[in-house]
């Protein structure tokens, strides 16, 4: 028991380091996912641009609405 008391400060430091490392890993994963999501949105927008046609029918209108939504979402980020 005395050994644990002697090293309690070290154990506390290790716990703090481990929690900070967990936070850093979570932030890195979040940023990577966000970057991948933005790339997916850009790819989808480019695909919609390639097949854009006028005059619009119902299906084309849905693509146009989605295109506008993606453009707005990409401008915010």
Q: Which domain holds residue 54?
A: 2-76
Q: What is the pLDDT of residues 2-44, one digit of tens each?
A: 877 888 889 999 999 999 999 999 999 999 999 999 999 888 8
Angle value at C-alpha 76, between 27 and 50, nearest 5 degrees = 110
Number of domains in the chain: 1
Q: In terms of pTM, does the model score above 0.75?
A: no
Instruction: Give the count of beta carbons closer than 10 Å to the beta carbon of residue 60.
Output: 14
Q: How confident is the model at residue 47 (pLDDT cuts 50, 70, 90)?
A: confident
Q: How far is CA 71 from CA 12, 30, 47, 62, in A?
A: 48, 22, 13, 14
């Amino acid at each position: 028991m005395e050994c644990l008391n002697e090293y309690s400060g070290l154990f506390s430091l290790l716990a703090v380091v481990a929690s900070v490392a967990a936070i850093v890993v979570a932030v890195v994963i979040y940023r990577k996912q966000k970057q991948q999501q933005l790339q997916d949105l850009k790819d989808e927008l480019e695909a919609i641009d390639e097949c854009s046609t006028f005059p619009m029918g119902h299906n084309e209108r849905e693509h146009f609405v989605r295109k506008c939504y993606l453009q707005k979402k990409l401008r915010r980020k």
